Amino acid sequence: MGYSLQAMVEIIKLPEHVANQIAAGEVVQRPSSVVKELLENAVDAQATRVELRLRSGGIALVSVIDNGLGIHSSQLALAFERHATSKLKSADDLFRLATKGFRGEALASIAAVSDVVLVSKTADEPTAFAIRMRAGKRELFEETAFSTGTSVSVSHLFFTIPARKNFLKSEAVELKHCLDEFHRVALLHENIHFQCFHNEAVLYDLPVGSRHQRIVHIFGSKYADRLVPVKEQTERFELSGYVIKPEYAKKTRGEQFFFINKRFIRSPYLHKAVLEAFEGLLLSGHHPGYFIEIDIDKAAIDVNIHPTKTEIKLDDEYHVFSVLRAAVRHSLGRYQINAPIDFELNPIFTPSYEQHVSEAKAPRIKVSSTFNPFKPEVQQQESFSELYVETDAQQIRIDGQTAVKEDLWNLDSLKTFQWANKFIVVSSADKLLVIDQYRAHQRVLYEAFLKKMTVEHIGSQQLLFQESIALQPQEWVLFETIESHLIDLGFEFERSAESLIIKGVPEFFPPNESGSVFKRLIEEAESLSSVLSYSTADMAAKVLAKHSAVKKGVALSAEAITELITDLSRCKEPYLSPFNKRIFVTVQEAEIIQKLH
């Protein structure tokens, strides 16, 4: 009986466009997948100029125009067939891949789930041809005008699969993914002039230059002196690139790029090699940044293990691992001899060199009875503990220290001194308190700023000299996600093509520093908001406090010490820094007696 039922089952070969739709799922996950495939095709076609145009984060349109070899009119339709490729002739070639594409799947897959118009012209044909594919079916093929090269425009992505379309994230998120792919291709090909537009605005214009210049053009001029070169050559392979100085390591996994034989790849294994090289140089929770390119005998790798090709198998992994680790260590070591890093100086956040320089000026703690660098004339008479301001340190208590508060802060009876320009030591009848001055001041400022933002009315002050700051494309995306909160806080902006003009800032904000502080706010918004903060106000207060607090290594006057302790004693949460680090430790008389035994 079972047999007769089975006999009814008919095996059919799927029509090509259905097969393509199924295969598309593997190759095309979101607009950024289209960006990657089209950019790689342009590079494979030996283009020297490549333009990426995106609309609505790539959801509405991804278009890539190149001046490469073009596709002959007789081959145009073939380019959209699955497993049609000009790059792989025999199975043997698989092991000697010089091009990025080779499966001949991308165009077929993309066309199966979208609306594609491809226009192309080769140097030896007099005119260009356009072909249009919708849901995998050809809709148009005609002569048209175009210079030598290829233009591929992909719109209505996933219109054939609405469920897939609903999976897409916000425009900002999709844009970020698209830009990530753009970065990967653009970083590797500094000999190609790349441009990137989003909704007609220029996000990147990357002229031909060195690898170092390309990194700086993409990630911003501040990277110019953050990069340490890495170079090594063995019989088997060549390694080159840059690592980011450890003090600029980020809390987010930002710039981590491995390229093997001109492909971006992910490799937890090689990442570990870099991590080991950075050992002892990174603060906990910080990630190293790197741009490492490895060129290895093509026969020694197999890139064909994953359809999107960001994974790779190396024949002799451990050899590469150990050479990479040694090379990075060597570079970091050499760099540190020239510019020693003292992490002890700033245990929470390592400042940039600019900050080191500016810190060398007179300490900002002076003598006003309540220090606030932004408004030194304001008197803060009331205690913060009366205020109801939510802070995220609230849930965290350090055992036994809640009780300390009452008897600790009887200031009249205290003796204080600064020790090692880092700590303030306070002695009372039976114990010593060792206070971390930087963390203490962060706490004081943080609560003051937060109070200004959340409890008191915040007015806006118009800037006499409006500041214009240039934002990187990534920063624009970030800015847009917090823009409305910043306006609530009293900021006023005007946008121009490339820069943001700050017209007004909250009253408590230092007007003359608004540009630089604001830029830092944006830079850190990403890591801080997700990791540490409840709200934009909280995040902004933390960033402002972190950058305004008096650092370690600064000598404080007796008045400044008294004032800092007074202010700290009035804090709602005097035990923890805004970043949840202990502000002080106590040493009991009994402990000392015990030690002396």
* Interface residues toward ligand ADP, by CB under 6 A: 37, 41-42, 45, 66, 68-71, 79, 84-87, 101-108, 150
Near Mg ion by CB under 5 A, which window of 96-104, 373-381, 386-394, 585-593? 96-104
DSSP strand pairing (301-302 vs 499-506)? unpaired
Please name the residue that has the structure tokens 């959801």. 59
The residue among 196, 203, 228 whose CA lies nearest residue 35 is 196
The residue among 560, 578, 511, 577 whose CA lies nearest residue 371 is 560
Please name the residue that has the structure tokens 């002569």. 143
Pairwise CA distance, residues 58 & 172, whole Å: 10
Contact between 531 and 539 (Cβ < 8 Å): no
296 contacts Mg ion (rule: CB under 5 A) = no
| Choice between 133 and 281, CB closer to ligand ADP | 133
Nearest-approach distance from CB 524 to ligand ADP, in angstroms: 39
| Residue 144 CB contacts under 8 Å (≥ 6 apart), including other chains | 119, 127, 128, 129, 130
At residue 281, the 3 state secondary structure works out as coil
In 83-226, which ranges are continuous DSSP H helix? 106-112, 162-167, 171-188, 211-219
Nearest-approach distance from CB 312 to ligand ADP, in angstroms: 17
Side chain identity, residue 17: H
Instruction: Give the one entry of ligand ADP, Mg ion, none that residue 79 binds, where binding means its C-beta sits below a cut-off of 5 to 8 angstroms depending on kind.
Output: ligand ADP
| Choice between 93 and 276, CB closer to ligand ADP | 93
Pairwise CA distance, residues 587 & 592, whole Å: 8
Nearest-approach distance from CB 178 to Mg ion, in angstroms: 17
Nearest-approach distance from CB 67 to ligand ADP, in angstroms: 10
Nearest-approach distance from CB 439 to Mg ion, in angstroms: 53
154 contacts Mg ion (rule: CB under 5 A) = no
Near Mg ion in 15-44, by CB under 5 A? 41
Instruction: Give the one entry of ligand ADP, Mg ion, none that residue 161 binds, where binding means its C-beta sits below a cut-off of 5 to 8 angstroms depending on kind.
Output: none
Task: Quickly count: other Cβ atoms within 10 Å of residue 89's Cβ.
Answer: 8
Please name the residue that has the structure tokens 């000999």. 191
Nearest-approach distance from CB 480 to Mg ion, in angstroms: 32
Instruction: Give the one entry of ligand ADP, Mg ion, none that residue 154 binds, where binding means its C-beta sits below a cut-off of 5 to 8 angstroms depending on kind.
Output: none
Nearest-approach distance from CB 79 to Mg ion, in angstroms: 9
In the beta sheet, which residues pair with residue 505? 461
| Choice between 79 and 445, CB closer to ligand ADP | 79
Instruction: Give the one entry of ligand ADP, Mg ion, none that residue 371 binds, where binding means its C-beta sits below a cut-off of 5 to 8 angstroms depending on kind.
Output: none
Interior angle at CA 109, CA 124 and CA 28, nearest 5: 120
Instruction: Give the one entry of ligand ADP, Mg ion, none that residue 66 binds, where binding means its C-beta sits below a cut-off of 5 to 8 angstroms depending on kind.
Output: ligand ADP
Q: Which one among 38, 97, 106, 157 touches Mg ion, defined by CB under 5 A?
A: 106
| Choice between 104 and 515, CB closer to Mg ion | 104
Instruction: Give the one entry of ligand ADP, Mg ion, none that residue 102 binds, where binding means its C-beta sits below a cut-off of 5 to 8 angstroms depending on kind.
Output: ligand ADP
| Choice between 152 and 486, CB closer to Mg ion | 152
- By beta carbon distance, the residue nearest ligand ADP is 101
Near Mg ion by CB under 5 A, which window of 93-101, 237-245, 369-377, 455-463? 93-101
68 contacts Mg ion (rule: CB under 5 A) = no
| Choice between 182 and 423, CB closer to ligand ADP | 182
Nearest-approach distance from CB 293 to ligand ADP, in angstroms: 21
The residue among 545, 470, 463 whose CA lies nearest residue 506 is 463
| Choice between 106 and 112, CB closer to Mg ion | 106
| Choice between 106 and 556, CB closer to Mg ion | 106
Pairwise CA distance, residues 180 & 196, whole Å: 12
At residue 492, the 3 state secondary structure works out as strand
Q: How many residues bind Mg ion (CB under 5 A)?
A: 3
Instruction: Give the one entry of Mg ion, ligand ADP, none that residue 94 binds, where binding means its C-beta sits below a cut-off of 5 to 8 angstroms depending on kind.
Output: none
Nearest-approach distance from CB 133 to ligand ADP, in angstroms: 12
Please name the residue that has the structure tokens 């006999």. 7
| Choice between 85 and 350, CB closer to Mg ion | 85
Instruction: Give the one entry of Mg ion, ligand ADP, none that residue 71 binds, where binding means its C-beta sits below a cut-off of 5 to 8 angstroms depending on kind.
Output: ligand ADP
| Choice between 178 and 230, CB closer to ligand ADP | 178
- By beta carbon distance, the residue nearest Mg ion is 101
Exposed / middle / buried, residue 15 (Cβ in 10 Å: 0-12, 13-18, 19+):
exposed
Element holding 49 (H helix, E strand)? strand 49-55
Instruction: Give the one entry of Mg ion, ligand ADP, none that residue 70 binds, where binding means its C-beta sits below a cut-off of 5 to 8 angstroms depending on kind.
Output: ligand ADP
Nearest-approach distance from CB 153 to ligand ADP, in angstroms: 12
In the beta sheet, which residues pair with residue 314? 301
| Long-range contact pairs involving 519-524 (C-beta distance under 8 Å, separation at least 24) | 519/469, 520/547, 522/471, 522/475, 522/478, 522/479, 523/475
| Residue 17 CB contacts under 8 Å (≥ 6 apart), including other chains | 112, 135, 136, 137
Instruction: Give the one entry of Mg ion, ligand ADP, none that residue 150 binds, where binding means its C-beta sits below a cut-off of 5 to 8 angstroms depending on kind.
Output: ligand ADP
Contact between 444 and 488 (Cβ < 8 Å): no
Pairwise CA distance, residues 266 & 261, whole Å: 13
101 contacts Mg ion (rule: CB under 5 A) = yes
Question: Which structure tokens are listed for 499?
Answer: 């820069």
Instruction: Give the one entry of ligand ADP, Mg ion, none that residue 537 binds, where binding means its C-beta sits below a cut-off of 5 to 8 angstroms depending on kind.
Output: none
Nearest-approach distance from CB 580 to ligand ADP, in angstroms: 49
Contact between 72 and 51 (Cβ < 8 Å): no
Nearest-approach distance from CB 473 to ligand ADP, in angstroms: 24
| Choice between 50 and 178, CB closer to ligand ADP | 50
The residue among 271, 234, 589 whose CA lies nearest residue 430 is 589
Instruction: Give the one entry of Mg ion, ligand ADP, none that residue 506 binds, where binding means its C-beta sits below a cut-off of 5 to 8 angstroms depending on kind.
Output: none
**Sheet (strand 415-419) strand order:** 415-419, 423-427, 431-436, 584-588
Pairwise CA distance, residues 324 & 124, whole Å: 46
Contact between 206 and 238 (Cβ < 8 Å): no
Side chain identity, residue 241: G
Instruction: Give the one entry of ligand ADP, Mg ion, none that residue 87 binds, where binding means its C-beta sits below a cut-off of 5 to 8 angstroms depending on kind.
Output: ligand ADP
| Choice between 94 and 587, CB closer to ligand ADP | 94
Nearest-approach distance from CB 33 to ligand ADP, in angstroms: 12
- Rounded alpha-carbon distances, angstroms, from residue 352 to 291, 340, 514, 531: 20, 13, 18, 21
- Give me the residues that bind Mg ion (CB under 5 A), please: 41, 101, 106
